[in-house]
Amino acid sequence: MTPIVSGFSKLSKSDKIKWLIKHHFQNDQNAINTLTTYWNSDNKLQQLHDEFTENTISNYYLPFSVAPNFLINNLRYTIPMAIEESSVVAAASKAAKFWQTRGGFKTQVISTLKVGQVHFNYRGKKENLESFFKDIKSELIASASQITKNMEKRGGGIVDIELRDKTTEIDHYYQLHCTFQTVDAMGANFINSCLEQFASFFKSKAVSYQDFSKEEQNIDIIMSILSNYVPDCLVTASVSCPIKDLPNTSELSSIEYAEKFVRAVQIAKAEPYRAVTHNKGIMNGIDAVVLATGNDFRAVESGAHAYASKDGKYTSLTDATIKNDVFSFSIKLPLALGTVGGLTTLHPLVKLALQLLGNPSAKKLMEITAVAGLAQNFAAINSLITTGIQQGHMKMHLMNILNQFNATEDEKKELITYFKTNTATHNKVVEQIEKLRK
The distance from CA 423 to its chain's CA centroid, rounded to whole angstroms, is: 33
With respect to residue 153, please indicate whether it lies within any of the assigned structural domains.
Answer: yes
pLDDT exceeds cutoff 60 at 390: no
pLDDT digits (tens, 9 = 90+) for 257-283: 999 999 999 999 999 999 999 999 999
The distance from CA 129 to its chain's CA centroid, rounded to whole angstroms, is: 38
d(CA 313, CA 336) in angstroms, rounded, equals 23
- Give the confidence band of 395 by pLDDT, cuts at 50, 70, 90: low
- Answer yes or no: do 280 and 173 share one domain: no
pLDDT exceeds cutoff 60 at 393: no
Task: Return the sign of the alpha-carbon dihedral for residues 55, 59, 61, 66.
Answer: positive
- Answer yes or no: do 203 and 329 share one domain: no
Mean pLDDT value of segment 187-196: 97
Amino acid (1-letter code) at residue 129: L
With respect to residue 426, please indicate whether it lies within any of the assigned structural domains.
Answer: yes
Closest CA to 261 of 249, 272, 246, 276: 246
- Outline where 101-186 has alpha helix (H): 126-142, 145-153
With respect to residue 58, please indicate whether it lies within any of the assigned structural domains.
Answer: no
Q: Alpha carbon of 285 to those of 81, 292, 306, 344: distances in Å?
A: 8, 11, 18, 20
pLDDT exceeds cutoff 90 at 418: no
Domain final residue, candidates 196, 226, 256: 226
Q: Alpha carbon of 322 to those of 44, 195, 248, 261: distances in Å?
A: 56, 46, 16, 10
Domain final residue, candidates 226, 260, 293: 226
With respect to residue 355, please indicate whether it lies within any of the assigned structural domains.
Answer: yes
pLDDT digits (tens, 9 = 90+) for 3-14: 999 999 999 999
pLDDT digits (tens, 9 = 90+) for 195-220: 999 999 999 999 999 999 999 999 99
pTM, whole model, 2 decimals?
0.90
The pLDDT assigned to 272 comes to 98
- Catalytic annotation, pick one of 184, 196, 287, 296: 296
Amino acid (1-letter code) at residue 45: L
- Give the confidence band of 419 by pLDDT, cuts at 50, 70, 90: confident
pLDDT digits (tens, 9 = 90+) for 337-348: 999 988 888 999
Mean pLDDT across the chain, nearest whole number? 94
- Give the confidence band of 389 by pLDDT, cuts at 50, 70, 90: low
- Answer yes or no: do 309 and 370 share one domain: yes
pLDDT digits (tens, 9 = 90+) for 287-296: 999 999 999 9
- Catalytic annotation, pick one of 205, 393, 395, 397: 393
With respect to residue 332, please indicate whether it lies within any of the assigned structural domains.
Answer: yes
- Answer yes or no: do 84 and 144 share one domain: no
The pLDDT assigned to 217 comes to 96
DSSP 4: P
Mean pLDDT value of segment 59-84: 97
Within 10 angstroms of residue 414's Cβ, the number of other Cβ atoms is 15
Domain final residue, candidates 168, 197, 226: 226
- Outline where 341-408 has alpha helix (H): 348-356, 362-385, 389-404
Within 10 angstroms of residue 357's Cβ, the number of other Cβ atoms is 20
Burial 110-139 (b: 16+ CB within 10 A, else e): eebbbbbbbbbebebeeeebeebbeebeee
Mean pLDDT value of segment 285-304: 98
Q: Is 296 a catalytic residue?
A: yes
Mean pLDDT value of segment 238-261: 96
With respect to residue 201, please indicate whether it lies within any of the assigned structural domains.
Answer: yes
Rounded (5°) CA angle 229-65-40: 95
- Answer yes or no: do 142 and 103 share one domain: no
The pLDDT assigned to 160 comes to 98
pLDDT exceeds cutoff 80 at 107: yes
**Which of 114-118, 140-144, 182-186, 408-412 has the weakest average pLDDT?**
408-412
- Catalytic annotation, pick one of 106, 280, 332, 412: 280
- Give the confidence band of 403 by pLDDT, cuts at 50, 70, 90: confident
What 3-state DSSP class applies to 310? coil
Burial 192-224 (b: 16+ CB within 10 A, else e): ebbbbbbbebbbebbeebeebeeebbebebeeb
Q: Is 431 a catalytic residue?
A: no
CATH number at residue 219: 3.30.70.420
β-bridge mates for residue 108, sequence order: 236
In which domain, by residue range, is 126 found?
114-226
- Catalytic annotation, pick one of 50, 85, 301, 411: 85
The pLDDT assigned to 142 comes to 98
- Answer yes or no: do 266 and 338 share one domain: yes
With respect to residue 144, please indicate whether it lies within any of the assigned structural domains.
Answer: yes
Counting the structural domains of the chain, the total is 4
pLDDT exceeds cutoff 60 at 84: yes
Q: Is 172 a catalytic residue?
A: no
The pLDDT assigned to 391 comes to 57
